[in-house]
Structure 1
Amino acid sequence: MKITYHGHSVVSIVTKEKQTLLFDPFITGNDLTDLKADQVEADWILISHGHSDHLGDALPIAKRTDATIISIVEICNFAAKNGVKKTHGMNMGGAFDFPFGRVKMVPALHSSGYETDGEMIYMGEPAGFLLQIEGKTIYFAGDTSIYGDMALLGETLNIDLAFLPIGDNFTMGPEEAAHAAKLLKAKQVVPIHFNTFPLIKQDPQAFTHLLPNNIGKVMVVGETLEL
């Protein structure tokens, strides 16, 4: 499969069977991304939580491409009420076998709300995703701080690649993320959710130096790796 980083927390995966997964598609208003909201393609859109820099352009992209939104049930209900035809709601600890592979929803320590028409709407609990695709396991942490049960994920799953936020202020910073990587025992770790705004300015290379055995990889925007 081919995995591409598109700035902030936007990640896409294209499987061998040409299924395209798009994570947290914050495109409009994201000065770091290489994507254009009216051109990006997706078959599946995975949303970790309801903040505007993660829900982003998910709804118009889903409507245009006929993609299925995979998220916590409250976000899926919100999407359906706003014209998205295909959604698949999940909740903590639940897993489901999709045509592209298996998705398990796991906790994230954060919050989740979406402001519209001056009103903050509750968007369910924030989450991370564990994906098992083509014999590999990928962890997309979403926005989170470190928490002890990450060790359980590391003990029970052989994580090949983990996307971890390092921005601080709203999520864990580099030191906590490095500790989380140790708990997860991931073979490769890519930092996300940094440098988009002044409050989350970080040096991603400094983060990778905190990790053992050269497992850290900084992906520049638009870079693709094969797994």
Structure 2
Amino acid sequence: MSSSITVTHLGTATVLLEIGELTVLTDPALDRTAADYPAARPLRRTAGAALAAADLPPLDLVLLSHDQHADNLDIAGREVLAGAGLVLTTPEAAGRLGGDAEGLEAWETREVTVGGTTVRITATPARHGPAGTEAVTGTVTGFVVRHDGGTLYISGDTVRHDALDEIGERFDIDTAFLHLGDAHFPATGDLAFSLSAAEGAELARTLGARTVIPLHFESWEHFTEDPARIEEAFAAPDLAGRLRRLTPGVAERL
């Protein structure tokens, strides 16, 4: 029997996935109020998460694309990691986090079973900025989640680059969760640090994804692109009907 899936978007790149008996959270940014996060590249949050950490069910698995930026892992999110059964992330992040965090290299797979539900998680390539900025942005990973009912792809924070093309060659993607927002910072000018809507549409074509769910495009000042660009990019005839927007805080069936 295929696993039923319920998805709840909590804001930014944070999604609660209930896959059969398995409960999964992605990139926990769960602080409830607008805030400034001082860092080498300061971030400003303009709206809090749709649900509090205390409202979440027990978590079997957290998929963390990277640990160095507050829009993917904030103060409340770090507290949630401590109670999760397993955290899969990059090897570098796992070394910093310790505990139940495990690092996966690109294309490495980990199988996770809870009750009668088994999923196979494969780390996928991601690059959080132009070539040559990796020393500043840090390493990032995406994930492919294979379950009895199909295959999900979670991009992580990435720009469009050739390594992403192999994902669609290796996997038959049913639903793609794409981190968009076209992130820019005053200090780095025209350099982009996440996908634009147009680049997300091109990636959707390469993946062959039947459904695309946009994430990571609002509630932070460094997301510079008008969200209306997402609908425009996916209005192309070959992508018609693929885009699905989630209402934050509302559980929906995939």
Q: 1:40 aligns with which of 53, 56, 64?
A: 56
Aligned residues: 212
Match of residue 207, structure 1, among 224, 230, 247: 230
Higher mean alpha-carbon deviation, 212-221 vs 23-32, is at: 23-32
Letter in 2 for 1:62: L
- List per-residue Cα deviations over 1:79-126 (Å, max 9, x = no partner): 22xxx3x22221111111111400000111116xxxxxxxxx989621
Percent same amino acid among aligned pairs?
Answer: 26
Deviation at 1:156, TM superposition (A): 2.5
Give the TM-score normalised by structure 2.
0.76
Change over 3 Å in CA distance of 1:201–1:225 after alignment to 2: farther
Secondary structure of 2:11's partner? coil
**1:6 maps onto 2:6 in alignment:** no
Q: Secondary structure at the match of 1:200?
A: coil
Structure 2: how far apart are the matches of 1:202 and 1:223? 24
CA–CA separation in structure 2 for the residues paired with 1:183 and 1:66: 33
One-letter amino acid of the counterpart of residue 29, structure 2: F
2:176 match: secondary structure = strand
Q: Pick one of 19, 22, 26 that aligns with 2:25.
A: 22
What is the identity, as a one-letter code, of the residue corresponding to 1:126?
A: V
Give, as a single letter, the amino acid of the residue that structure 1 aligns with 2:248.
V
Q: Would you say the 8 A contact 1:191–1:204 is kept in 2?
A: no
Partner residue in 2 for 1:107: 125
Q: Given the two structures, how large is their TM-score scaled by the length of structure 1?
A: 0.84
The partner residue of 1:95 within 94, 106, 109 is 109
Contact in 1 for aligned 2:9/2:15 (Cα 8 Å): yes
> What is the aligned counterpart of 1:185 among 208, 211, 214?
208
Farther-moved stretch of structure 1 (147-156 vs 191-200) = 147-156
Residue identity matched to 2:66: H
Q: What is the deviation of 1:201? A: 4.3
For residues 186-221 of structure 1, what are the alpha-carbon distances to aligned partners after superposition, in whole Å with 9 as ceiling and x for unaligned?
A: 000111111212331444443133221210111121
Residue 167 to residue 161, structure 1, CA distance change in 2 (3 Å): same
Cα contact 1:129–1:141 (8 A) shared by 2: yes
SS at match of 1:209: helix
Q: Please list every run of 5 or more consecutive structure 2 residues that lacks an aligned counterpart in the other structure.
A: 36-44, 130-134, 185-192
Residue 151 of structure 1 and its aligned partner are, at CA, apart by 2.5
Superposed, 1:110-149 pairs within 5 Å as 110=128, 125-149=139-163
- Describe the SS at the equivalent of 1:75: helix
RMSD: 2.2
CA distance in 2, matches of 1:128, 1:122: 18
- The more displaced of 39-48 and 50-59 is 50-59
**Structure 1 SS opposite 2:160:** coil
Q: Which amino acid in the other structure matches residue 229 of structure 2? A: A
- Structure 2: distance between partners of 1:66 and 1:191: 25
- 1:55-82 Cα deviation digits (max 9, x unpaired): 223431132x3421111122122222xx
Query: 2:78 & 2:66 partners in 1: Cα distance?
Result: 13
1:54 aligned to 2:83? no
